[in-house]
Structure 1
Amino acid sequence: MDNRKRILVAPLNWGLGHATRCIPIIRELLAQNLEPVIACDGDALALLKKEFPQLCFIEFPSYKIRYAEKARYFKLKMLWDSPKIFKAISAEKKQTEQLVTSLGISGIISDNRLGVSCKKVPSVFITHQLNVLTGNTTWFSSKIHQEIIKKFDQCWVPDVAGIPNLSGRLGHLKKQNPKVKYIGALSRFNYLKNDEIYDLMVLISGPEPQRSMLESKLLQQLAHYPGEVLFVQGKIEAKQKVVQKNNILRYNYMNTTELEKAFSQSKLVLSRSGYTTVMDLAKLGKAAFFIPTPGQYEQEYLAKRLEKANLVPFCEQDKFELSMLERVAGFRGLSEVGRELNLSTFLRLFKGEREL
C-alpha cells in the first residue's frame, strides 16, 4: 500500500511557463517520497502529461485567457474577460476542497491559480509577481494580488531576495512579508556541452492570438535568414510534427530532454521575455534577444530592465527586423543570477514543519 503524502500541484494555463517551472518542483516532490497530483487545464495539462505520464491528473476549469490583438486593448480585454475568470476561480476553489477530502491531499502548491487553496492543509502560492504591473492601475492590481496571497500559508518567489536578482520590483516588496520565501530561480534544464549547429533557435509560446501573430511574422522574415534555424512553435499537440523547409527546421513542440539539447546546440535564442524563459536562459547562460508580448506589462518590464542592465536586447513585436539580432553582440548575456536553492528545504512544510 502506498502511504506517501499526496501534494496537489496546480499551475496556471497562461502560456507554458507556469507548468514548465513546476517541473523541477514535481521532480523534487518525487525525490522526497511525496506523491504529486497534477491539476490544471489546456496546454499546461497536456505538457505535464507528456512529462509525467505515470502521475494522477485532474482537469481544472479553464480561465479562458486570450489576449487582445492590439496591445492598447490588453487591459480592456482582461477586464472584459474578468467575469469568466472569476467564475473559473470559484469553480476551482470548490473542486480543490473536494479533492482534499476525496484524494486525501496533504498539501497544495498553486502556481498562480488563485482559487487553489484549502485551510485544512498547508497551501503554497508560487508567483514572481508580488507587484502586478498594469500601468496606472499597478497599485490596485498589486494590492488585490497581495490580498489573495494572504489566503496561503506561504508564498514562494522563484528568485533570490538580494541583489542581483532576476525579477526586480515584480518579485520584491519594499516592506518584508514573513509569508514570502525566496526559493531561487526554477528551471527544468541542465547545462549541456554540445557543438552549436543552429545559428538561431526561435521559441514561441503564450496565449493566442499573439503567439500565432509572432510566429507568422518571424517565419516570413526568417525565409531570408542566412543561417540554420531551429523553430519551436510551442503548440502542444497529440503528435510531434517536424518539418524541414530550406534553412528552417520546425517543431510544433519539444519535450524537456529535446529542448535541453536544442538550447545547447544553438548560438542564439529568440523568444518572448516571459519570466520562466528568463530563468531558463540565465541557468543555461545563453545569448538571447527578446520580443515581449504586446501589452503584457510584466514581459515589457523584464525586457526593458534586462536591456538597461546591458544583458539582453529587445524590440517591440511590430518593429522587429532580423537585422536587430546583430545587437546581441554588444550585450553581456544572462548569467546564472538567482541560482537554484535546495528545494527539499522548502518542502519540509508538507512534512509537518509549518515554519522554515
Structure 2
Amino acid sequence: MQKSKNILIAPLNWGLGHATRCIPIIDAIIKNGDRPIIASDGLALALLKKEYPKQTFIELPSYDISYAKEGQNLRLKMLKDSPKIWMAIRNEHQMLQEIIPKYTISGIISDNRLGLYSNLVPSVIITHQLQVLSGSTTWLSTQLHLHYIKKYDYCWIPDADGPDNLSGKLSYNEDFEIEKVYLGPLSRFKNTGNYQKKYDLMVLLSGPEPQRGIQEKRLLTELKTYKGEVLFIAGKVEKEQKVEKKGRLTYYNYLSTDGLQKALDRSEMVLSRSGYTTIMDLQKMGKKAFFIPTPGQFEQEYLAELLDQKEIVPYATQEDFHIQMLSRVEHYKGLGSIQSSSRSLSSILEETFSSVNENSDPIPSSLST
C-alpha cells in the first residue's frame, strides 16, 4: 500500500490571493491521501487556519509587505523595504533546513515565497509572474524574481499556455532553465450554475494595508447613492465573523470559502481589485465585474487595462471611480466569455513527487495544531 507523504505548502502573505489559490492544491493533497503542512504568516495563515482547522501549521518569517498611501510612492517604498524582505527570505530558507526533518517533508510547494527551495526534496514555486512589471525597472525586477525561481525544481504557472490566457504577457518568459508547468487557472470555487440573484452588486476587497482600508472608506461613501442591493465583503480576516445590515447594504468583515461561493452565486456583478487570483475566481464563476486596480500596483493596472481593451471587464482608477461607472459593465462580455481548462492537480502532484521516498511515520500529535 502506498504510504502518505507530508507536503509543505506555503503561500506568501501579500493580500489573501496567494493563500486562497492554494486551497484547491491543499484539497488535492488531501484527496491524494497525503498530508499538507501549511506554512505562512499573518492574515494568510489566519485564513487557512479557519479553512483547515485540523491540519498542521507553521508560522514563517513575515515579509512585512504593505503599500504606500500614495500609489506613485509604491516603487520607492518597495525599494526601501527590500532589505527586510531579503532578510525574511534568508530566514525562511534557514528555517526550512529544520522544518524538513522535523516534519518529515517529502516535497515543497511555495506560492511566491522565495526562500523555500531545497536540494533535499523536490521544490515547486507557484507564480504567474515570469515578468514582474515595475515601470522603468521591469527588466531588473524580472531578473531578480527569475534568480529565485531558478532555485526551484519546477515553476507551476496558474494559467493556460497560449494566447487566450488570463495573465497576458506576465506568464511568459523564454528562459529555458526554468522547468515550467502550466496548470490552467486555479480557483477555490465551483461554477455550479446555481445562480439565484439576491444582490445587484458584490464588493470584494483584498490586499495589504493601508490601501485596502482607503478603498473601503471610498466605496462605502460612493455606495450611499447606489440603488441596488449590495453585499460588501471587507476582506478583514478577524477572530470572529461580523455582519451588519444598513439599509440595502449587507456588510461582512470576511467570508469563508463556502460563504463566498454562495455570495458569488447570488450576486449579479462584482466590484473588486484586479488581482490575478480574483480574476481567476471570477472567470471560474463566469461573472461580470468592474475593476479598480490598487494604485501603483503595476501588475493590477496592466491586467485591468488588458481586460478592458478586450472588452471583457471595464475599469477605473481609484481616484477617478464613481459609482455611476458601473453602468459600463452591461456593455462588456464578462469573464465568463474566457474559456480555459485546468489540469488535474492530483495527477500533477503525483507526477511531481512520485520519486520521493514515501514517509512511514505519521506526524506526532503534538505537532498537529
> Is TM > 0.5 for Structure 1 vs Structure 2?
yes
Distance in 2, matches of 1:214 and 1:339, equals 33
Q: Secondary structure at 1:36's aligned position in 2?
A: strand
Distance in 1, matches of 2:47 and 2:238, equals 9
Query: Is 1:166–1:337's contact at 8 Å kept on the other side of the alignment?
Result: no
Match of 1:349 in 2: 352
Q: Deviations over 1:88-126 (max 9, x none)?
A: 111111111110011110000000000011110000000
Q: Deviations over 1:203-253 (max 9, x none)?
A: 001000000000000001111110100000000001000000111100000
Match of 2:307 in 1: 306
CA 1:10 to 1:164, structure 2 compared with 1: closer, same or farther past 3 Å?
Answer: same
Q: Secondary structure at 1:352's aligned position in 2?
A: coil
Q: Secondary structure at 1:223's aligned position in 2?
A: helix
Q: Secondary structure at 2:101's aligned position in 1?
A: helix
Q: Secondary structure at 2:267's aligned position in 1?
A: coil
Q: Secondary structure at 2:333's aligned position in 1?
A: coil
Match of 1:12 in 2: 12
Match of 1:201 in 2: 202
Distance in 2, matches of 1:63 and 1:200, equals 34
Among 326, 331, 341, the alignment partner of 1:339 is: 341
Query: Is 1:61–1:88's contact at 8 Å kept on the other side of the alignment?
Result: yes
Q: Does 1:56 align with 2:94?
A: no
Query: Is 2:314–2:332's contact at 8 Å kept on the other side of the alignment?
Result: yes
Give the number of aligned pairs: 353
Q: Does 1:267 align with 2:268?
A: yes
Q: Secondary structure at 1:318's aligned position in 2?
A: coil
Distance in 2, matches of 1:165 and 1:338, equals 8
TM-score, length basis structure 1: 0.97
Match of 1:156 in 2: 156
- 1:102 maps to a residue whose letter is K
Distance in 2, matches of 1:214 and 1:116, equals 33
- 1:110 maps to a residue whose letter is S
CA 1:189 to 1:344, structure 2 compared with 1: closer, same or farther past 3 Å?
Answer: same
Distance in 2, matches of 1:69 and 1:337, equals 37
Q: Does 234-243 or 86-95 show the bigger shift?
A: 86-95
Query: Is 2:133–2:298's contact at 8 Å kept on the other side of the alignment?
Result: yes
Query: Is 1:283–1:339's contact at 8 Å kept on the other side of the alignment?
Result: no
Distance in 2, matches of 1:178 and 1:317, equals 36
Match of 2:218 in 1: 217
Match of 1:245 in 2: 246
Shift of 1:177: 5.2
Match of 1:167 in 2: 167
Match of 1:66 in 2: 66
- 2:212 maps to a residue whose letter is R
Distance in 1, matches of 2:18 and 2:100, equals 22
Shift of 1:338: 3.1
Structure 1 vs Structure 2 CA RMSD: 1.4
TM-score, length basis structure 2: 0.94
Query: Is 2:150–2:178's contact at 8 Å kept on the other side of the alignment?
Result: no
Distance in 2, matches of 1:337 and 1:173, equals 23
CA 1:112 to 1:26, structure 2 compared with 1: closer, same or farther past 3 Å?
Answer: same
CA 1:178 to 1:64, structure 2 compared with 1: closer, same or farther past 3 Å?
Answer: closer
Shift of 1:175: 5.1
Shift of 1:318: 0.6
Distance in 2, matches of 1:89 and 1:237, equals 26
Match of 2:362 in 1: none
CA 1:204 to 1:197, structure 2 compared with 1: closer, same or farther past 3 Å?
Answer: same
Alignment of 1:122-141 (within 5 A): 122-141=122-141
Q: Does 1:179 align with 2:182?
A: no
- 1:18 maps to a residue whose letter is H
Alignment of 1:13-52 (within 5 A): 13-52=13-52
Q: Deviations over 1:22-58 (max 9, x none)?
A: 0000000011111100000000001000111110000
CA 1:165 to 1:321, structure 2 compared with 1: closer, same or farther past 3 Å?
Answer: same
Q: Percent identity?
A: 53
Q: Secondary structure at 1:161's aligned position in 2?
A: coil
What stretches of structure 2 of length at least 5 have no aligned partner? 358-369
CA 1:307 to 1:176, structure 2 compared with 1: closer, same or farther past 3 Å?
Answer: farther
Distance in 2, matches of 1:149 and 1:175, equals 11
Query: Is 2:63–2:84's contact at 8 Å kept on the other side of the alignment?
Result: yes
Query: Is 1:19–1:48's contact at 8 Å kept on the other side of the alignment?
Result: yes
Q: Secondary structure at 1:39's aligned position in 2?
A: strand
Distance in 1, matches of 2:53 and 2:200, equals 33
Q: Deviations over 1:300-348 (max 9, x none)?
A: 0000000001100000001100010000111101124332211122112
Distance in 2, matches of 1:177 and 1:27, equals 30
Match of 1:283 in 2: 284
Match of 1:191 in 2: 191
Match of 1:236 in 2: 237
Query: Is 1:39–1:45's contact at 8 Å kept on the other side of the alignment?
Result: yes
